[in-house]
Structure 1
Amino acid sequence: MKVGQDNSIYSLFTPKAHNKSPSVADEKLDVSRAAPQKAPAVRSDQELAADFHARMAKQSLDWADADNDGKVTKQEFLDGQARLAEQDNRPNDAKANERKWSAIDAEGKGWVDEGGLRGGLEKIFPVSVGHLDPDYAERLRNPNR
């Protein structure tokens, strides 16, 4: 292979006079710093549980509110539970659904809005956030410890 001035490898073999060290400005590189990413706010255990119940109430309202009036009546709730049982390919437990409705509509109005649905679901499905102790992972790695 013949190395000449028109070859890109030529620059490796020819000495260049450097009066100064190369700088970022010479290379025209952008050295602007990106803004640091903000970590999401840490939410308390109570906020996480409340968010879960709020989402569950919204989904339940969307599922059961057949006439889209923002309220779920007893019949809409029972029909929704029957549809859910059919969709899940399991028998519909009417007695259990009646007990759930009694917990949801504790005042006996015959209907609940999203807030009432949420309060009832909080009674039926109590949720808490669990935490593992710091030594838990080590005990999983070494069960005979």
Structure 2
Amino acid sequence: PKPPTFTYLYSSNVTLGPTIDYGAGPRGHRVAIPITGGTLSGPRIKGNFINLGADWGAIDNLGVFNPDTRYGILTDDGANIYIQTSGPTQKDGHTHLRMIFETAANSTYSWLNEIVAVGILTGGSGYVSIDAW
């Protein structure tokens, strides 16, 4: 069979608020990390992260952080796009993301509603960077 190919979507820098600790629960040690802003830019999409969203990730019993995010972007031409991501953090510190996009069916970006996308997240203090394909 022919393997799938990847098309570069964008690179982003995302600003984060202070972590809120919910403690250990049945699905791991839960935290919430507010997504407060940032920018993204790629060949077909440019915009800003809006201050509405968070990562509701958990650290599992193996010590692996598994993000569970929901957030939005506003494109430079005024479209709202909802993004949901999840995936495991690797031993090298990168996180492999499964990405789901949702926007208006009549939007310039409606093609995002139909794609399978992946991302690589790297982080620092108060920010993360995501490259998406």
Instruction: Name the TM tier (shorter chain).
Output: under 0.3
TM score, norm. by length of structure 1: 0.23
Q: Which has the higher helix share?
A: 1
